[in-house]
């Protein structure tokens, strides 16, 4: 029997980082337990209303966030507020599969297009690694808006 995983990020601004990663992965911010959100409804407004109703102090209302795969295939991603800054390289990082099935120049062009889109969302490009067959097909190292490394693969 396999187990499900949740990926957890420490963050200064969990909702902002959740919005970034939702855009990267094509995920959605789920509504609170009692909400029935329709297309175009703001999940953050629904969360604000819910957290106020259940008595969560205003200072804690942006301390947690989550995103989920709308098809239910990928892991849930959770963001929790921490006071400290990120000070070293990640020991675990995400590989975002932005060019599945592509090889060579076509693969790297797809990765470059994905990189441009993510930079526009607030990511930082770090370094490109060229294909080196047969062991390496090429990738781009990136950082999210809070400095967490990930790869476009």
Q: Which residues pair with 143 in a beta bridge?
A: 124, 149
Classify residue 67 by burial, with Cβ atoms within 10 Å: 0-12, 13-18, 19+.
buried
Query: What is the average pLDDT across 39-58?
Result: 93
What per-residue confidence (pLDDT) applies to 88? 82
pLDDT greater than 90 at residue 81:
yes
Sign of the dihedral defined by the CA atoms of residues 87, 90, 96, 98, in that order: positive
Query: What is the average pLDDT across 78-89?
Result: 88
* Structure letter (DSSP) for residue 58: G
Q: Where residue 50 falls among pLDDT bands split at 50, 70, 90?
A: very high
Provide the whole-model pTM.
0.91
pLDDT greater than 90 at residue 37:
no
């Amino acid at each position: 029997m396999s187990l499900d995983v949740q990926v957890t990020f420490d963050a200064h601004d969990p909702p902002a980082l959740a919005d970034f990663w939702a855009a990267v992965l094509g995920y959605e911010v789920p509504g609170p337990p009692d909400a029935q959100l329709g297309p175009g409804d703001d999940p953050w407004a629904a969360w604000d209303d819910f957290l106020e109703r259940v008595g969560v102090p205003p200072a804690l209302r942006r301390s947690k966030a989550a995103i989920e795969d709308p098809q239910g295939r990928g892991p849930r991603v959770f963001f929790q507020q921490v006071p400290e800054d990120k000070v070293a390289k990640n020991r675990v990082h995400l590989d975002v599969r932005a060019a599945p099935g592509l090889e060579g120049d076509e693969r790297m062009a797809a990765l470059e297009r994905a990189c441009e889109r993510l930079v526009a969302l607030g990511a930082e490009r770090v370094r490109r690694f060229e294909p080196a067959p047969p062991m390496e097909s090429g990738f781009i190292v990136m950082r999210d808006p809070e400095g967490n490394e990930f790869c476009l693969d």
